Amino acid sequence: MVQLAAGKSQNLILEAYGQHNVGGRLMPEGSPYHLTIRGPVGQRLGCMGQPGTTIICEGPASDDVGYLNIGADITVLGDATNGVCNAMAQGRVMIKGSIGARGLTMTKWNPEYEKPELWVLGSVGDTFAEFNCGGIGIVCGVEAKDPDNILGYRPCVGTVGGSIYYRGKTDDTYSRTNVKENDPDDEQWQWLMDRMPGYLEKIGRPELLKPLSKRKEWKILVAITPQERALIFSGPMPMSEFRTKIWDKAFGGDPLRDLAPGLDRSPVGLIESGDLRRRIPYWANHEAAAPCTFYCPIHIPTVDRLRLIRDGKLDEAYELVLHHTPLPGSVCGHICPNLCMEGCSRQTVDKSIDVAMMGRAIKDSPAPKSAPSTGKKVAIVGGGPAGMNAAWQLALAGVEAHIFERDDKLGGKLAQVIPWDRLPKAIWDSEIDRFMAMDNIHVQFGVNMTKSKFKDLKKKFEFVIVAVGTHEPRTLPFPGKERVIPALDFLKAGKSDNPTKVGKQVVIIGAGNVGCDVACEAYRLGA
């Protein structure tokens, strides 16, 4: 609304009801803008005020008056709260009363323009002029909120530029590593007296000119230059000096003098040879795995995967995982207990990385390109998850891998035992298709391995890998155990064409993953 009105007139009167950001970014073209505000005004009065804009608030103001001001003249005919002139770069803010904390903080100054100014008739709150980089503050101490401390607690911390004129009592807690206190010199005093009448006229207190013109009542805090700081602040005490001057004295001497009286305790030089030369830095980057990588049974480097995803390299991230397992969608995405997520240190911040979701995302990705053929062949007895991964790794390395499987399908317990409710068949089939399409992988089904056949394999292949799995179920030795159906047999039958018949009730001993699979399968079969 103010912007629209400013397009029609350069003299505006605003009846305010707590609105924020009033008077900012008015762009005078030719004639300057003059904005008078009546009623309660909200935060950031004159925010980003432009040169040529004059703002008069006929009462007190809320936080951040003159925030990011770059040239406007802002007058507040009352008190202002916190953050006055925060990050101001140019212009003036004139307060008829006192202000709250953090006034004149983080100001800026372009040497091509006048320094930003903050005039306060009363007092200022704590942390005044913190990180001030060029602003000039004038605190008159008239009718101050705290007449015993008109600058608040710890003013000028981090100040690197600008100056603070003040008149009145302080608690003397200003930062002595950033500013120094002086009486105004002739040039500084003249600057103040040239501008004082205009300020008092703006706030309607011209009668104060005479009492505020007593030079001996004024002090000035001026930022210490880098050259001066180098002379007065040399940094922390060197460790060797601390040891000899403080540490050893507190212990009654060198605490190691009895243990090693002949030990040379002098500092080691920057460039040494001889005996000291052997003490060289040791680069240990990547020698300790991230928790997710460490706890993963096949040590998938999830940190590297996340870095690739963060860089937008999704295909490279998927390929990285496929170099570790041919079954990320089935195993990582569905049946793995995800030890990586249990050990993820991200849990101390919010929650662990959803590795299962990332595994499912790879189900349709193509197989990585294998290395050139080495001409070598390896036999693998067993086509379960272990045998498949062994063949996969060999094929990626350019080795011809031959799997000999007794069953008519790959996957071992994954395909034979785990219900399709927990391992979706569509995902499993797509990953088997990807596996079978991999170069250098050959599979023979229906092979019953015998001693003679095993001897033949040892003759024909450079190496033979045995990955036959554990298909002999364990049972508890108690009376009546012959009437118990092992979970392995029950689940295998459930995925066959001839599932086990169940009654109305089924008792399951054990409630781990296998027990839960049995319960779901029994329920599916009518129990």
Average pLDDT over residues 432-439: 93
pLDDT for position 7: 58
Q: Which two tokens stand for residue 347?
A: 């849990």
- Report the alpha-carbon distance of residue 442 to residue 50 in Å, rounded: 77
- Report the alpha-carbon distance of residue 499 to residue 491 in Å, rounded: 8
Q: How confident is the model at residue 247 (pLDDT cuts 50, 70, 90)?
A: confident
Please tell me which residue, 278 or 146, carries the higher pLDDT value.
146
Alpha helices by DSSP H, listed for 238-365, are: 239-242, 248-250, 291-295, 302-310, 314-322, 339-342, 355-360
Average pLDDT over residues 6-27: 76
Average pLDDT over residues 121-141: 96
Could you tell me whether strands 179-182 and 218-223 are parallel, antiparallel, or unpaired per DSSP bridges?
Answer: antiparallel
Closest residue by Cα to residue 74 from 86, 65, 82: 65
Place of tokens 């004024």: 218
Domain at 377-466: CATH code: 3.40.50.720
Average pLDDT value for the chain:
88
The domain made up of 2-230 is a member of CATH 2.160.20.60:
yes
pLDDT digits (tens, 9 = 90+) for 350-408: 888 888 899 898 988 899 999 999 999 999 999 999 999 999 999 999 999 999 999 99
Percent of the residues in the chain that have a pLDDT greater than 90, as a whole number: 58
In the chain, ranges of CATH 2.160.20.60 domains: 2-230
In the chain, ranges of CATH 3.40.50.720 domains: 377-466
pLDDT digits (tens, 9 = 90+) for 151-201: 999 999 999 999 999 999 999 999 988 899 999 999 999 999 999 999 999
Whether residue 518 has pLDDT greater than 60: yes
Can you tell me whether residue 329 is helix, strand or coil?
helix
Q: Which two tokens stand for residue 71?
A: 């040239």
pLDDT for position 279: 55
